[in-house]
């Protein structure tokens, strides 16, 4: 081990004060605490980085806070605007006490996100640069599209959509696997001002139907089937069921465009509804490969993405064109230290926000080469990711802690048999990355050479909020470090009072940023209640956070009733309502428990209707019900039979107690005297091993 000396530097302005000292640390020796574990970028890396020192970050950060209009309008000017925005760069009301919440950026500016991703980059000479590499589930199946080819295909789809009557502002539901046609469809919608709503192709028919009913799309775009690993998934059957389901709720859908994926299912084996279903390959190639752009206002909607909350049905998070474009492009560039020669791979699916902001928009706005991988990360074996990294010379690799942990369990031999020398920057997203997984990712995957950007953000935030800038400062394994430009994170106590210095509490954000969501589709009131009312004057993230003595941020997980399973956000209420829809389930309460690979597992307490006996079949049936109503990824890991649930006298379920029982912390149950029936707890513990 050798001594790496870090100067004492002021790193953070932020109400919380600055970093007094970054201590000299001896790497490899026992550390007093994880907070003292510093990992520095190499001098070589920092020297070439877009932001190469804490001072440079500080200078830019300071400007972004003191003069946000100047900071963001300078960046926005690098994009193409048909017409520049009006007087105000940002117009916001961020405080419910002052009336309706409103966030507007670049209002009056006329632009188009697809144009900025493709036409603008082609005009700048990137026409022949690869925009998308596609790697199929089966090794050996692959393809690529240059920026010019991508534009041609996007235009064909855009022309088709226009032809079937999709207009500016209309919704289109996209239920596709990770094939190039997914980003192509998103961009085609953006080109004509239509609002895409991508639904992760792991969601069940019922979940899809719910989304169709909510946003009433003009068309659904899907694929007959896909293979992930060895498993074929019949997507078209799911779509059929969803459309049937939602047809009860008019207006019913009359177009379903189906991409033919013969590797997974033969055409003739695909169920077909004449008059409604159309094969992608039969129509799209017939359309012209140029298509004029529909110019939109910066504040026109770009997409809707449904996400889980702590109560009720999924919420349609709405993002608008201008601010989102500027924000995803900028965060991508800085957090991954993007250079034009990079090959970038993000393992997320476009069905989640990560795939929107950091598979499609952020990278393409930067003219980057993006890899789209269709398959499972451990197929045919646990070395597949590194095989792909070597094949395409991937230099930036962005993934989720759950994958890191699962590959870690499979052993390093799968990693070290590949060179991985193209890798430069690693990224993590979705949940806190535990220091041991961080270390493995850093040492084994990145050969102790590649900084890790642990990016904290949310569907609602559109882009990174708290993230390392890889060349700028020392990292602490497990900490998302410092805020991105323009972001003012504050930590508040239960009363909403900001706490300074070393502290922990609820993570909120002061002031808006360009990538922030503007509303929940059709329910602005819920938007205000969920995010702006809990702590007036701030956006409330739903996450807990600790700030250490050096000003580093440590995310501690959700503080609401949302759980994070393998980086997938699931509302406990959604799982509960699926369970109670089962005729033999009287009541259910769901909590998250620590899970070695998934981060959190789903633990369900279930009370059956009178006199129904517990049985293994019933357990399986309950799990199946959740799979059918939400999707396989939401299936409970454990069903705990509960003769009764711990409730207060007013009938509120005490989840705090359930969490302790689920994680077997029985000596930490705390005060149970306010329970309506304290005996319930004893019974639950007795049933723990049932």
Q: Give contact residues for ligand WTA (rule: CB under 6 A).
A: 307, 352-354, 428-432, 454-459, 480, 541-543, 555, 558, 564, 569
CA angle 432, 434, 440 (to 5 degrees): 125
Helices (H), 91-226: 113-117, 119-121, 147-163, 181-192, 205-215
- Closest of 256, 260, 261, 252 to residue 278, by C-alpha: 256
Least distance between ligand WTA and beta carbon 357 (Å): 8
- Closest of 307, 309, 237 to residue 270, by C-alpha: 237
Q: Which residues are within 8 A (CB) of 32 and not within 5 positions of it... i.e. 6 or more apart?
A: none
Taking the least distance from each CB to ligand WTA, the nearer of 367 and 430 is 430
First to last CA, the chain: 50
Helices 68-76, 54-66: axis angle to 10 degrees equals 110
Taking the least distance from each CB to ligand WTA, the nearer of 54 and 309 is 309
Specify whether the CB–CB gap between 131 and 364 falls below 8 A.
Answer: yes
Taking the least distance from each CB to ligand WTA, the nearer of 287 and 464 is 464
Which residue spans within 572-666 are E strands per DSSP?
A: 585-595, 599-608, 638-641
Taking the least distance from each CB to ligand WTA, the nearer of 348 and 585 is 348
Least distance between ligand WTA and beta carbon 484 (Å): 12
User: CA quadruple 290, 291, 295, 298: dihedral positive or negative?
Assistant: negative
Taking the least distance from each CB to ligand WTA, the nearer of 307 and 347 is 307
DSSP 3-state of 201: coil
Q: How far apart are CA 99 and CA 152, in angstroms?
A: 46
Q: How far apart are CA 171 and CA 189, in angstroms?
A: 9
Q: How many other C-beta atoms can be found within 10 angstroms of the C-beta atom of residue 123?
A: 11
- Structure tokens of 540? 């409330």
Q: Classify residue 99 as left (phi > 0), alpha (psi -120 to 50) or beta.
A: left
Question: What are the two backbone dihedrals, phi and then psi, of residue 389, each rounded to the nearest 5 degrees?
Answer: -55, -45
Q: How far apart are CA 50 and CA 333, in angstroms?
A: 8
On the CB side of 151, CA atoms within 13 Å amount to 25
Specify whether the CB–CB gap between 318 and 304 falls below 8 A.
Answer: yes
Taking the least distance from each CB to ligand WTA, the nearer of 89 and 487 is 487
Taking the least distance from each CB to ligand WTA, the nearer of 317 and 364 is 317
- Structure tokens of 361? 């928009």
Q: How far apart are CA 470 and CA 41, in angstroms?
A: 7
Specify whether the CB–CB gap between 486 and 72 falls below 8 A.
Answer: yes
Q: How many other C-beta atoms can be found within 10 angstroms of the C-beta atom of residue 237?
A: 15
Q: How far apart are CA 195 and CA 322, in angstroms?
A: 14
Taking the least distance from each CB to ligand WTA, the nearer of 224 and 453 is 453
Specify whether the CB–CB gap between 561 and 572 falls below 8 A.
Answer: yes
Annotated catalytic residue: which of 37, 214, 550, 560? 560
Length of the chain measured in residues: 690
Specify whether the CB–CB gap between 80 and 113 falls below 8 A.
Answer: no
Taking the least distance from each CB to ligand WTA, the nearer of 133 and 554 is 554
Least distance between ligand WTA and beta carbon 597 (Å): 16
Pairing outcome for strands 315-320 and 301-307: antiparallel
Question: What are the two backbone dihedrals, phi and then psi, of residue 221, each rounded to the nearest 5 degrees?
Answer: -115, 125
DSSP states of 230-285: TEEE-HHHHHHHHHHHHHTSSSPP--EEEE--TTTS-GGGS---TTTEEEHHHHGG
Taking the least distance from each CB to ligand WTA, the nearer of 352 and 361 is 352
User: CA quadruple 411, 393, 462, 333: dihedral positive or negative?
Assistant: positive
Question: What are the two backbone dihedrals, phi and then psi, of residue 371, each rounded to the nearest 5 degrees?
Answer: -100, 130
Least distance between ligand WTA and beta carbon 542 (Å): 5
Active site residue 447: no
Pairing outcome for strands 585-595 and 638-641: unpaired
Least distance between ligand WTA and beta carbon 585 (Å): 27
- Structure tokens of 232? 């074929």
Specify whether the CB–CB gap between 478 and 438 falls below 8 A.
Answer: yes
Specify whether the CB–CB gap between 425 and 416 falls below 8 A.
Answer: no
Residues assigned a catalytic role:
560
């Amino acid at each position: 081990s050798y001594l790496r000396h870090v100067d004492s530097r002021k790193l953070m302005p932020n109400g919380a004060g600055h970093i007094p000292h970054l201590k000299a640390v001896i790497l490899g020796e026992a550390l007093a605490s994880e907070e003292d574990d510093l990992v520095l970028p190499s001098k070589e890396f920092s020297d070439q980085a877009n932001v190469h020192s804490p001072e440079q970050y500080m200078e830019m950060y300071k400007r972004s806070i003191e003069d946000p209009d100047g900071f963001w309008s300078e960046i926005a000017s690098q994009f193409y605007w048909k017409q520049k925005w009006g007087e105000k760069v940002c117009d916001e009301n961020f405080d419910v006490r002052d009336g309706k919440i409103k966030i507007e950026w670049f209002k009056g500016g006329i632009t188009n996100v697809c144009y900025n991703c493709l036409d603008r980059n082609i005009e700048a000479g990137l026409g022949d640069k690869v925009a998308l590499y596609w790697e199929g589930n089966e090794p050996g199946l692959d393809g690529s599209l240059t920026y010019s080819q991508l534009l041609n295909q996007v235009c064909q789809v855009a022309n088709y959509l226009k032809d079937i009557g999709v207009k500016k502002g209309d919704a289109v539901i996209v239920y596709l696997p990770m094939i190039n046609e997914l980003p192509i469809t998103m961009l085609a919608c953006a080109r004509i001002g239509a609002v895409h709503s991508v639904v992760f192709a792991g969601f069940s028919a019922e979940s899809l139907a719910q989304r169709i009913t909510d946003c009433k799309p003009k068309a659904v775009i899907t694929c007959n089937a896909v293979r992930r690993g060895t498993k074929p998934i019949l997507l078209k059957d799911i779509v059929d069921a969803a459309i049937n389901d939602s047809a009860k709720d008019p207006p019913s859908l009359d177009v379903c465009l189906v991409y033919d994926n013969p590797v997974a299912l033969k055409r003739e084996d695909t169920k077909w509804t004449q008059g409604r279903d159309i094969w992608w390959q039969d129509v799209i190639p017939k359309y012209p490969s140029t298509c004029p752009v529909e110019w939109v206002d910066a504040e026109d909607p770009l997409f809707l993405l449904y996400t889980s909350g702590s109560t009720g049905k999924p919420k349609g998070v709405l993002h608008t064109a201008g601010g989102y474009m500027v924000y995803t492009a900028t965060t991508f560039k800085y957090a991954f230290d993007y250079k034009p020669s990079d090959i970038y791979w993000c393992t997320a699916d476009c069905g989640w926000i990560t795939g929107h902001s950091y598979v499609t928009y952020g990278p393409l706005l930067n003219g980057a080469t993006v890899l789209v991988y269709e398959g499972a990360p451990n197929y045919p074996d646990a070395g597949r990711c590194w095989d792909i990294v070597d094949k395409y010379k991937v230099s930036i690799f962005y993934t989720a802690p759950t994958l890191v942990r699962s590959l870690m369990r499979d052993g390093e031999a799968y990693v070290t048999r590949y060179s991985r020398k193209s890798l430069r920057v690693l990224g993590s997203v979705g949940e806190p990355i535990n220091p041991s997984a961080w270390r493995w990712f850093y040492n084994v995957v990145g050969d102790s050479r590649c900084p890790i950007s642990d990016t904290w953000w949310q569907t609602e935030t559109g882009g990174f909020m708290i993230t390392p800038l890889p060349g700028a400062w020392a990292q602490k394994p497990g900490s998302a470090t410092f805020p991105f430009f323009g972001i003012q994170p504050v930590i508040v106590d239960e009363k909403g009072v900001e706490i300074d210095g070393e502290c922990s509490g609820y993570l909120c954000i002061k002031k808006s940023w360009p990538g922030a969501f503007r509303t929940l589709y059709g329910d602005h009131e819920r938007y205000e209640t969920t995010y702006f009312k809990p702590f007036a004057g701030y956006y409330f993230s739903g996450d807990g956070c600790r700030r250490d003595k050096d000003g580093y941020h440590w995310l501690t997980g959700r503080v609401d009733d949302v759980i994070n399973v393998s980086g997938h956000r699931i509302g406990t209420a959604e799982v509960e309502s699926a369970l109670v829809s089962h005729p033999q389930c009287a009541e259910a309460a769901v909590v998250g428990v620590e899970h070695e690979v998934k981060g959190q597992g789903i633990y369900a307490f279930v009370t059956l209707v009178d006199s129904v006996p517990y049985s293994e079949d019933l357990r399986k049936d309950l799990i199946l019900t959740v799979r059918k109503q939400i999707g396989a990824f939401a299936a409970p890991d454990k069903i705990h039979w509960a003769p009764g649930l711990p409730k207060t006298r007013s009938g509120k379920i005490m989840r705090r107690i359930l969490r302790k029982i689920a994680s077997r912390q029985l000596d930490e149950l705390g005060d149970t005297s306010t329970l309506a029936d304290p005996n319930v707890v004893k019974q639950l513990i007795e049933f723990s091993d049932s």
